[in-house]
Chains A and B, each alone.
Chain A
Amino acid sequence: MAALSLFFAASIAQAAPSPQNASPGAESDASPATQSRYGGAKEDATSSASAEDSGYGEDADEREITVHVDPVHDYRDASAVDRRTMQTRLPRSAPDALRYEPGVFVQQSGHGQASPYVRGLTGQQTLIAFDGIRLNNATFRQGPNQYFFTVDSRTIAHLEVVRGSASTRWGSDALGGALLTTPLEPNLGRPAPRRSGNGNGGEHAAAEGRRPTGWVVHPRLAMTARTADGEAGARAQVDLGWGGKIGLLTGVGYRVVGPLRTGGPVLSPATGEPWREPRFDSDQRTQLGTGFRELSADTRLVWQFNPRMRLTAAYYDYRQKDAPRTDKCPPAEAPESECLRYLDQFRTLTYLAFDSERGPAPMERARVSVSYQRQHERTQLLRDNGIPEIDGGTESNGRDRVHTLGLRATASTASWSVGDSGVSTVGVDYGADLYFDQLESLAWLRFTDVDPVITDVLSRGQYVDGSRYLSSGAWVEPYVWAGPRVRVRAGGRAALVHADSPGDEDSGTRVIERTWGAVVGNAGLMVLATEWLSWHLDFDQGFRAPNLDDLTSRQQTGPGFQYENADLEPERSLSLDTGFRVRHERVEASLFAWHAFIRQLIGRAPREIDDCPDDGVVNPTGCGASRTRFQLVNLDGWALLRGVDASVRVFLPLGLAVRTTASWTWGEGPNPVPPPEAGTTSNYRARLPLSRIPPLNGSVELMWNHRTGVWLGSALRWATAQTRLALADESDTRIPLGGTPGYAVWDLRAGYRFDPNVLVSAVFENVLDAAYRYHGSSVNGATRSLNLNLELGF
């Protein structure tokens, strides 16, 4: 029994940052007196989850089967999803894996795209990191984007959401929060655990205490199928290791996803009528403009050249092909053959990272990484000529590439005792980072129905070709354990951001040469009221310098045509949080209330035709012809966001666990339209709701896990209607007239795990066949359907 418990406990711990897979910069400041799990996520997660330590016997085993991994940032509002949980939920993508996290709401502009809202913000206002490397680049746009979808969920060991501004550690963009992804690690030649562990490359922690042998190979094949969209996919993976020194984890995945069948159109809250935008097929179920293909490949080579140091070379390639943008495929009212597709949505990340631990006191733990990331997007709007005898028509093409070089260094000092008692300690986390983006952007028309085919290159693309962007900073964050129960942190970052763009005379695009400096800080207090209850009070500042999308891009967005503003200033935020966290053997819970202030929020201000940038015959942009036009502006005054995030997990006897989450967000900002002249009658409002603020939403999950490896579960996701709309929302056809209706979606889950040989998991999704849409999405939710996952390996 004890051995089994150890396996369970270890498998849970594997996704937490062990010395081998620690997220760089993660804190290592466990209170010396308590060795509590708070603030000491690494080793403590293993020990605290041990059945032997807990003294709960068999119940503890059952608890540990279902326990969640503590977030690394457990000193503030954060939560995490591990691989084991993903294997029971079967998310379609990395963003989808966050659907059950409090404070996160996942919007989808396309079937192959998804963007998590964290505390009401998304896209360029949240930070995405993979293995500590920043994925945000200078083309992350206003509103939702598709880029987190390009992280292959099958390569993720651990996914953490830090809620609230986090710019001290993560720099520009981290206003709403940070999404921190930890990849699977190779085994380094340790034997695979039996019967437990997630069995997918993360076993090394489970086998931490096992004696490494010579060459060890763990192949694994995972296959997935879903009936709602005919998805069929597989990932083949080999984990090759030697003597605890060398590990190579390499995998390749592919999937084909067909048109998505949904529960049908949702009803407009204003009219009660079905909302058929984006468009459905004649069965009223199949959403047009869905389906895609995906190829992913990754290789992670680790050399643990001594117990304290390791070198990692990693390569992650994601290639998505033929993903339509659902609301433009076809656009409302256009012939059904018209379609905007992302022909290519590629992301390649490769890096070299050096980790050390147990080093000299000023740098007890450290990580340095050098990275190169390449983002490649190729779009094509296809309009058929309507002539039956002549194939082809007009292609409007775009191609944008961002090359990003990154350098990041983080370190943590040892914890020094203060005073004679040894109860109080102090330590410092610190680091610096630098990312440099180089942009290529082109747009051209092709007339494919003429012989020979004619290409007409436009003077500029969505961005300005040759633009560059540098984002850099250095930060320090000391912390103090003032006794065994009080932890205080405070820190700051000095940031420097530079943007330059050569401009484009033909299209009236200005030359840009801008530099911004910023200093942000944070402070936090955590009080351990009891061994299982903590109270938190946090102040975190965020900032976001305007990026190349803000400064140079011209594009059709959901609400209308959006064009650049070269005079934008950085957004700055302050989030204030307070809440409680419970970590009891029987209950895990968190309740956080937060309030965020954003100054100079960049928003969309309506513009008239005459305001359009010069779009004469030389380089027409479509600004004037669009129904609505917007320019990005710094809103004058404060935007306010506030909300509550809560989650409770109760461990019941007999292997049962119930978890429920709820999130409420409210957002309001200055009206981007100036007030009317005095004396005129008007229904003008000085302040308006912010765009696409998620409605009140939450989830309930009931899981039963048996020690044989069988599990059963039930899950309910719900949201109320969102009828508070921003100006831009009202002209966005993705949002039904009057807002997005509420929903409740019920799933059933079942599975069997016999690690590392077999994993079978199934989700019977949307049992009641509800028609639903996440607010702001183009894509409705899947119809009643079956999702299956089978993994085989040894």
Chain B
Amino acid sequence: MATRTLLIAPFAAAVLALSATACITDDDPVDDDVGDEGGEGGTPCDPAADAVDESACAPLDSDFQSADPDNDPYPACISDSGSYELYADPPGSIDRVVALQDIADLLWNAGAAPRPDDFVMARSIYEIDQGLGSRVDRREDLHYPPVPEAEWDPGVDADKQCSVEALAEAYPDRCAGPAKLRPMINQAFIDGIEGNGDANVAAAKIEAAFMWFVYLSTYKEANTCIPKGKDCDSSWAYYTGGAQIGGEMLGLAKLVEAYSPNTHQRIFDGILAVRCWRDLYSVDDYPTYEDLPEDGQALYDQAWEQLDEALHRGLAVVIRQHALAQDDDQCSEATEANWTFVQITGDVLVREMEERGVAELDEYRSLLALDAPTTEDVEALVGILDTVFDCP
């Protein structure tokens, strides 16, 4: 018996030894503290409260008008109540806009310059799986022509060519998300976390990029609503954060509503117009644009254009209010950040101004390029915006 015990012992020892070798010794991760010292840059600017005069503006005869649906050219449809009726379940884009607002509360709505750990928290929110960052990275600007078919990567679907990094680099205007927004936002996060330069400037870059993203997304989702009806919901969600008119707006809509309720209503009407079209031409019967009858195509073009025009004006209003804030006493500590916001978002409208053949385009560009605009410069810039994008 003792002999057997002696023989069994090596077996047990072998098992224990082998178990020990199975151990993996990577350490548990621990939170890094980047410091909660106040960020450099003073108190961020509030956009100007100057009233926006749109008294001369009126909807086009071709526009969908939720206030008077009986007299617009659209047949009776789901949007006539003036409320946005979901096509499907509430979309995930609502959560992304909520995340945007959470980041806003950390970085530019907190009433003080953000600290490095605010940027860490904000970036963590930004990087949620399937969150804001994931969509920024893939966002295309449908105002620009698609990547030419001859250059497509044949291993990738036609609507995903911007995910090919070489193509994104070659066509940065179309591939605005991966080519422009992604590096801009990440660079700003890096600067904010590392404490490089003015924290408000880093925050302003992020804010401007987010407004740009929402502007592109609202427009893009209204287009991809043609094959996927639920993308109409995403268009509405990206703009409003999931609210109805009169509700608590988030993101871009929150700014536009604050500066120009009229423009806000017109953007909302544009979204309703696309939803109305989708209601009139079901996705089951018309899954592609080509499947639509001529009148269906015309109605879609009309609705999408209404939304596009309103969005231009909405973004212009946001830019002008920020530009006007340059002269506000309250803004004296963070004018650089404020002007950075104006420069980034202002540049977004250049394409539309080119398309319209705006005579003052060169002057507009010059003004945006200034490092320290004077009061006259700001007034000139606002003047151009009000002229070109006078009504939604």
Contact = CB atoms under 8 A, between A and B. Distances in A.
B96 A625 contact: yes
Contacts, number: 192
A449 B190 contact: yes
Interface string B133-156: 110011000000000000001111
Interface string B232-245: 00000000000000
A243 to B, nearest CB: 14
A578 to B, nearest CB: 44
B51 interface: no
Contacts of A337: 165
Contacts of A303: 7, 11
Contact of B193 (A315, A333, A447, A455): A447
Contact of B130 (A288, A378, A449, A556): A556
Contacts of A621: 128-129
B11 A457 contact: no
B93 to A, nearest CB: 8
Contacts of A453: 32
A417 interface: no
Contact of A333 (B11, B96, B160, B183): B160
Interface stretch (B59-67, B119-127, B303-311, B370-378): B119-127
A264 to B, nearest CB: 9
Nearest to A319: B24
Interface in A604-636: 606, 608-610, 617, 620-627, 629
Interface in A339-384: 344, 346, 348, 350-352, 372, 374, 376, 378, 381, 383
Contact of A454 (B15, B22, B26, B34): B34
Nearest to B94: A609
Contacts of B127: 383, 394, 396, 445
A386 B186 contact: yes
Contacts of B90: 608-610
Interface in A371-408: 372, 374, 376, 378, 381, 383, 385-388, 390, 393-394, 396-397, 399
Given A335-B168, A454-B32, A454-B193, A445 B178 contact: no
A396 B31 contact: no
A624 B34 contact: no
Interface in A642-699: none
B130 A383 contact: no
Contact of B18 (A299, A383, A387): A299
B163 A334 contact: yes
Contacts of A338: 137
A396 B129 contact: yes
Interface residues of B, number: 65
B173 interface: no
Interface stretch (A229-237, A277-285, A423-431): A277-285
A337 B164 CA distance: 9
B46 interface: no
B120 A626 contact: no
Among B26, B30, B94, B134, chain A packs the most CB atoms within 10 A around the CB of B134
Name the interface size band of chain A. 35 or more
A381 B127 CA distance: 11
A352 B8 CA distance: 10
A626 B92 contact: yes
A281 B155 contact: yes
Contacts of B226: none
Contact of B156 (A279, A317, A387, A609): A279
Contacts of A608: 89-90
Contacts of A280: 155-156
Contact of A315 (B18, B125, B138, B160): B18
Interface in B83-115: 89-96, 98-99, 102
Interface string B352-381: 000000000000000000000000000000
Nearest to A457: B31
B14 interface: yes
B19 interface: yes
A331 B134 CA distance: 10
Interface string A8-33: 00000000000000000000000000
A209 interface: no
A348 B15 CA distance: 12
Contacts of B12: 313, 352
A330 interface: yes
A523 B245 CA distance: 65
A561 interface: yes
Contacts of B187: 385, 387, 390
A456 B120 contact: yes
B165 A335 contact: yes
Interface in A278-326: 279-284, 286, 288, 299, 301, 303, 305, 311, 313, 315, 317
B18 A334 contact: no
Contact of A348 (B22, B98, B164): B22
B194 interface: yes
B157 interface: yes
Interface in A550-571: 556, 561
B154 A282 contact: yes
B42 interface: no
Contact of A372 (B19, B91, B156): B19
B99 to A, nearest CB: 7
B29 A444 contact: yes
Contact of B155 (A284, A313, A397, A449): A284
Contacts of A420: none
A452 B31 CA distance: 13
A442 B34 contact: no
A332 interface: yes
Nearest to B106: A617
Contacts of A283: 155
A335 B163 contact: yes
B37 interface: no
B285 interface: no
Given A281-B155, A617-B102, A376 B24 contact: yes
Contact of A451 (B15, B131, B194): B194
Contacts of A281: 155
Given A279-B155, A622-B129, A352 B15 contact: yes
Contact of B178 (A313, A335, A450, A454): A335
A640 to B, nearest CB: 28
A399 B25 CA distance: 12
Contacts of A623: 95
B133 A276 contact: no
A336 interface: yes
A352 B11 contact: yes
Contact of A455 (B7, B32, B137, B153): B32
12 contacts: A346-B24, A385-B183, A447-B190, A456-B121, A609-B90, A609-B92, A617-B121, A620-B125, A625-B93, A625-B130, A625-B132, A626-B130
Interface of B: 4, 7-8, 11-12, 14-15, 18-19, 21-22, 24, 26, 28-32, 34, 89-96, 98-99, 102, 120-121, 123-125, 127-134, 137-138, 153-157, 160, 163-165, 168, 178-179, 182-183, 186-187, 189-190, 193-194
The 8 tightest CB contacts between A and B, nearest first, are A624-B95, A280-B155, A348-B22, A386-B182, A385-B186, A315-B18, A622-B129, A625-B95
